[in-house]
Structure 1
Amino acid sequence: MGTWDIGPFENDTAADFAYTLDETPIDEREELVRKTLARTVQTRDYLDSSDAVEAVAAAALIAAQCPGGEPISTSYGPDEALPVFAADLRPLAADALDRVVAESSELAELWDETADGPRWRQSISRLRAVLDPKPKLQEDALF
């Protein structure tokens, strides 16, 4: 994995995903993002690092359009215009991020082996909070 920082587009796989988005007709870009996220959520076995990286990049694009979202300002992100993403992609993106940081995720394992693992997890948590600003209910709060 050619990674140079924790940002969603600061690795080779995500930069390639951005290029693929740029090469995809504009009316098909939302579907590409949707399929990327759905593939991640639907993976029940071990989640491959490249699928997880693409899901993080896709989630970041959606989060950038949400209130409080950070714009994608890196030169490794998409250069071409993106559609305004449908609101139903937000919970899908949040679910995909949950899957990316889960126990059976190669990307999470790789980051956890580095000193920057906690910072990476914080960046994923920030993205997720933008996508789904409602606090998760704790089981303890129900009792």
Structure 2
Amino acid sequence: MGAWGFQAFENDDAMDWLQDLEDGGAEVVRHGLNQVTDGYIEAPDGSVAVAAAEITAAAQGSPHGDLPENVVTWVRVHGAELTDGDAQLALTAVERVGGEESELAELWDEADEPEWTESLDDLAERLRTALR
């Protein structure tokens, strides 16, 4: 797992995906979220979904305090394209990535890093707040 931290953008898969994001709008975020809607979730798809969920939360007015500058810029330009439906999809994605059918959850569990789970809980709560 090419990760140097537990936050959404502290891994190679999310950082690679940001290159795709720069070339597109909300459909890139939706695609990242839709990759984890069913079946077993491979770690790269889980990492992308968490990054997409962070972007969705930011677009809905509940950003993480430490977003990469290119994400802040993307949200400023394209954030209005993401809807409440996207926020619900993001919440579902976060719950699935943190669940039992997720390679990423297994890897972080093996690494004994409770901060990863706490970061997902925080993201889920920010998405719930945005949906209220």
Q: Is the pair's TM-score, using the shorter chain for normalization, greater than 0.5?
A: yes
- Rg larger in structure: 1
| Alignment-derived partner of residue 33 in structure 1 | 29
Secondary structure of 2:129 counterpart? coil
- Partner residue of 2:4? 4
TM-score scaled by structure 1? 0.79
Residue 72 (structure 1) shift: 5.1
Counterpart in 2 of 1:105?
Answer: 102
Q: Which amino acid aligns with 1:21?
A: L
Change (3 A) 1:77 1:14: farther
Cα distance in structure 2, aligned partners of 1:129 and 1:15: 23
The reply on whether 1:132 has 2:128 as its aligned counterpart is: yes
Distance change (3 Å), C-alpha of 1:7 and 1:14: same
- Structure 2: runs of 5 or more not aligned: none
- The alignment yields a C-alpha RMSD, in angstroms, of 2.1
- Paired with 1:70 and 1:34, the residues of 2 have a C-alpha distance of 19
In structure 2, what is the Cα distance between the partners aligned to 1:82 and 1:61?
10
Measure how far apart 1:78 and its partner are.
Answer: 7.0
Deviations 1:9-67 (A, max 9, x none): 1100000111111123xxxx2112112212211x22x2110110000000000111234
Q: Which consecutive aligned stretches of 4+ in structure 1 deviate over 6 angstroms post-superposition?
A: none
Residue 13 of structure 2 contacts residue 47 of structure 2 at CA under 8 Å; is this kept in 1? Answer: yes
Counting matched residue pairs gives 127
CA–CA distance in structure 2, aligned partners of residues 21 and 36 of structure 1: 10
Instruction: Select 1:115's aligned residue among 112, 116, 119.
Output: 112
Bigger helix fraction: 2
Superposed, which structure 2 residues align to 1:1-80 within 5 Å? 1-24=1-24, 29-41=25-37, 43-44=38-39, 46-70=40-64, 73-74=67-68, 77=71, 80=74
Mapped partners of 2:79, 2:95: distance in 1: 24
Equivalent-residue separation in structure 2 for 1:68 and 1:86 (angstroms): 13
C-alpha displacement of 1:114: 1.1
The share of aligned pairs that are identical, in percent, is: 34
Q: TM-score, normalised by structure 2?
A: 0.85
Contact 2:62 2:127 in 1 (8 A): no
